[in-house]
């Protein structure tokens, strides 16, 4: 039998579901990995600065929670609007899809400008509050002084990229971040080592890369190649649509925001219980996690527009099947990651630091932090399915439940139990993985069973 040809790459009601996921996931995973390199490469280079690498690495770790808040707003309008965009496209309403994208673009720019002003006003006080020491403060502050200039650029490039992927152009979405990452990788050693600019040089390289990526995204979405274009007319704010975007995006927004809060509380607690070396170990773990979770983000990012499109087209059987395939694929990946991290923690730690105390602390902390990471397959599947189907209340609750309700209190409770001390801060993650992920997955299965009954019997 001849294989069916999909004429419209954005029509996810056609073709094999696993093939559709892989077709989207491969370039999207590459895109997420390359995007992670923006900050990861900075940390790798800075962590190997002779004589100051451990302090620079820890300083960047302190700046990370503030940068994550910017990521939260990218998620709010990027990940919040793209499922609605995909649903409207699946229903054949191109005008509505265009207005969703335009309103998201408007809010990304407006929010980026506001965030820049607020961050400059409060960053120094926040850095001291979340665990900066007399040694590490200057590194974190110098990095943010430059990095924040590019806030609007990163809001555009990362926030609008989901609208490229939702139209079936996952390879183009990959190119978006590849352009910036390559520029960043090339410029980092020039500014850091050749020009001897240290953390400021790393930040300069990053904002140049972000500017180029943002320009690429705008040129592509405003061009004639895409089925739904970004136009000046579509930028006119419609607060009804903005409200819907925010209602759905609040899940990923809170996910990033609570990640930031967890990083802040963890760093402050680690500084109190163990000092700079343990804060540095948490920076290593955060960096590892960004890289190791890229495949998970790629697969879930590929599955969500497929679920949304089929849900909008009332192909509920394909929507449910996509959710099931997502779980199988993500679980298989997490099991592989778990084995690698448990067996070779020193390899991952050595990528980011040569300083003995930070390295030794990292090896111990890595095994504790990642020991039950494979439970996150359930959390990922549940959250992605809720978001793709527009079930914002459930997605929001379980985002807050795992991080805000479980992890943050456990950061303070576990160090006082069984003489865990500083290790209790890292143990909060696996405990929350088991409880939060299981609750999310079971609730998703129960609540979507009726919603996703096949359209035909």
Mean of pLDDT values over 166-173: 77
Contact 70, 250 (CB under 8 A): no
Q: What residues have CB less than 8 Å from 19, skipping those under 6 apart?
A: none
- Decide if pLDDT at 5 tops 50: no
Collapsed DSSP state (helix, strand, coil) of residue 453: coil
- Decide if pLDDT at 7 tops 60: no
Q: Which of 301, 296, 311, 261 is nearest to 129 (CA)?
A: 261
Mean of pLDDT values over 324-349: 91
Q: Which of 48, 327, 39, 374 is nearest to 210 (CA)?
A: 39
Q: Provide the 10 A C-beta neighbour count for residue 254.
A: 22
- Decide if pLDDT at 181 tops 60: yes
Per-residue confidence (pLDDT) for residue 50, from 0 to 100:
64
Which pair of tokens denotes residue 162?
Answer: 């989901």
Residue 179 backbone dihedrals phi, psi, to 5 degrees: -60, -50
Among all chains, which residue has been given the structure tokens 């993985």? 433
Q: How far apart are CA 117 and CA 18, in angstroms?
A: 44
Contact 31, 302 (CB under 8 A): no
Q: What residues have CB less than 8 Å from 295, skipping those under 6 apart?
A: 29, 33, 333
Which pair of tokens denotes residue 200?
Answer: 């400021």
Query: In sequence order, what DSSP letters do the residues of 5-34 get, joined into one string?
Result: --S-TT-TTSS-HHHHHHHHHHHHHHHHHH
432 or 292: whose pLDDT is higher?
432
Per-residue confidence (pLDDT) for residue 11, from 0 to 100:
58
E strands, 237-303, are none
Reported confidence tier of residue 36, pLDDT bands at 50, 70, 90: low
Which pair of tokens denotes residue 393?
Answer: 């209340």
Contact 357, 365 (CB under 8 A): no
- The CA-atom distances, in angstroms, between 90 and each of 23, 317, 318, 363, 395 are 18, 15, 13, 48, 22
Q: What is the DSSP letter of 226?
A: S
- Decide if pLDDT at 106 tops 70: yes
- Decide if pLDDT at 407 tops 60: yes
Residue 195 backbone dihedrals phi, psi, to 5 degrees: -90, 0
Core vs surface per residue 416-430: b (16+ CB within 10 A) or e: eeeebebbbbbbbbb
Reported confidence tier of residue 6, pLDDT bands at 50, 70, 90: very low
Question: Exposed, middle or buried by CB within 10 Å (0-12, 13-18, 19+), for 275?
Answer: middle
Reported confidence tier of residue 14, pLDDT bands at 50, 70, 90: low
Reported confidence tier of residue 1, pLDDT bands at 50, 70, 90: very low
Q: How far apart are CA 276 and CA 355, in angstroms?
A: 12
Q: How far apart are CA 290 and CA 296, in angstroms?
A: 10
Q: What is the DSSP letter of 404?
A: I
Q: What is the DSSP letter of 344?
A: -
Among all chains, which residue has been given the structure tokens 């630091």? 353
Mean of pLDDT values over 307-321: 82
- Decide if pLDDT at 334 tops 80: yes
**Element holding 162 (H helix, E strand):** helix 151-165
Residue 233 backbone dihedrals phi, psi, to 5 degrees: -60, -40
Collapsed DSSP state (helix, strand, coil) of residue 236: coil
- Decide if pLDDT at 207 tops 50: yes
The highest-confidence range among 16-20, 111-115, 305-309, by mean pLDDT, is 111-115
Per-residue confidence (pLDDT) for residue 354, from 0 to 100:
73
Q: How far apart are CA 365 and CA 429, in angstroms?
A: 11
Which pair of tokens denotes residue 77?
Answer: 């309008």
Rg of the chain over all Cα atoms, to the nearest angstrom: 21
- The CA-atom distances, in angstroms, between 299 and each of 43, 234, 294 are 26, 30, 9
Per-residue confidence (pLDDT) for residue 2, from 0 to 100:
35
Query: In sequence order, what DSSP letters do the residues of 35-84 get, joined into one string?
Result: HHHHHHHHHHHHHTSTTTHHHHHHHHHHHHHHHHHHHHHHHHHHHHHHHH
> Angle between the 53-90 and 276-292 helix axes, to the nearest 10 degrees?
30
């Amino acid at each position: 039998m001849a294989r069916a040809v999909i004429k419209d790459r954005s029509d996810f009601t056609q073709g094999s579901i696993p093939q559709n996921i892989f077709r989207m996931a491969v370039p999207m995973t590459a895109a997420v990995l390359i995007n992670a390199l923006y900050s990861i490469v900075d940390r790798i280079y800075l962590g190997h600065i002779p004589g100051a690498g451990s302090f620079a690495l820890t300083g960047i770790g302190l700046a990370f929670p503030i940068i994550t808040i910017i990521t939260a707003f990218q998620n709010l309008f990027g990940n919040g609007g793209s499922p609605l965009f995909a649903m409207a496209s699946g229903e054949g309403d191109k005008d509505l899809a265009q207005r969703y994208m335009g309103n998201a673009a408007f809010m990304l720019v407006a929010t980026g400008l506001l965030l820049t002003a607020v961050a400059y006003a409060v960053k120094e006080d926040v850095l001291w509050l979340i665990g900066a020491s007399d040694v590490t403060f200057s590194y974190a502050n110098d990095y943010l002084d430059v990095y924040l200039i590019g806030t609007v650029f990163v809001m555009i490039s990362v926030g609008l990229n989901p609208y490229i992927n939702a139209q079936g152009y996952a390879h183009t979405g990959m190119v978006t971040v590849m352009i910036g990452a390559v520029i960043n990788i090339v410029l980092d050693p020039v500014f850091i080592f050749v020009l001897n600019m240290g953390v400021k040089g790393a930040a300069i390289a990053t904002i140049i890369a972000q500017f180029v990526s943002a320009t690429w995204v705008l040129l592509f979405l405003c061009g004639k190649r895409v089925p739904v274009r970004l136009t000046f007319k579509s930028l006119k704010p419609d607060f009804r649509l903005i409200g819907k975007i925010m209602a759905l995006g609040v899940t990923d927004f809170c996910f990033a925001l609570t990640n930031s809060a967890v990083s802040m509380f963890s760093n402050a607690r680690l500084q109190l219980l163990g000092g700079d070396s343990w804060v540095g170990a948490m920076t290593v773990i955060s960096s590892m996690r960004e890289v190791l979770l890229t495949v998970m983000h790629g697969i879930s990012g590929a599955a969500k527009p497929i679920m949304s499109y089929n849900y909008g087209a009332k192909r509920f059987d394909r929507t449910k099947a996509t959710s099931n395939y997502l779980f199988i694929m993500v679980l298989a990946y997490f099991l592989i990651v778990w084995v690698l991290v448990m067996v070779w923690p020193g390899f991952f730690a050595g990528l980011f630091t040569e300083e003995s105390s930070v390295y030794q602390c990292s090896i111990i902390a890595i095994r504790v932090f990642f020991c039950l990471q494979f439970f996150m397959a359930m959390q990922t599947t549940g959250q992605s399915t809720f978001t793709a189907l527009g079930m914002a209340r459930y997605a929001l609750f379980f985002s807050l439940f795992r991080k805000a309700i479980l992890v943050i209190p456990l950061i303070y409770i576990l160090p006082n139990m069984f003489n865990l001390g500083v290790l209790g801060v890292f143990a909060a993650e696996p405990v929350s993985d088991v409880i939060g992920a299981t609750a999310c997955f079971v609730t998703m299965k129960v609540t979507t069973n009726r919603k996703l009954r096949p359209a035909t019997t």
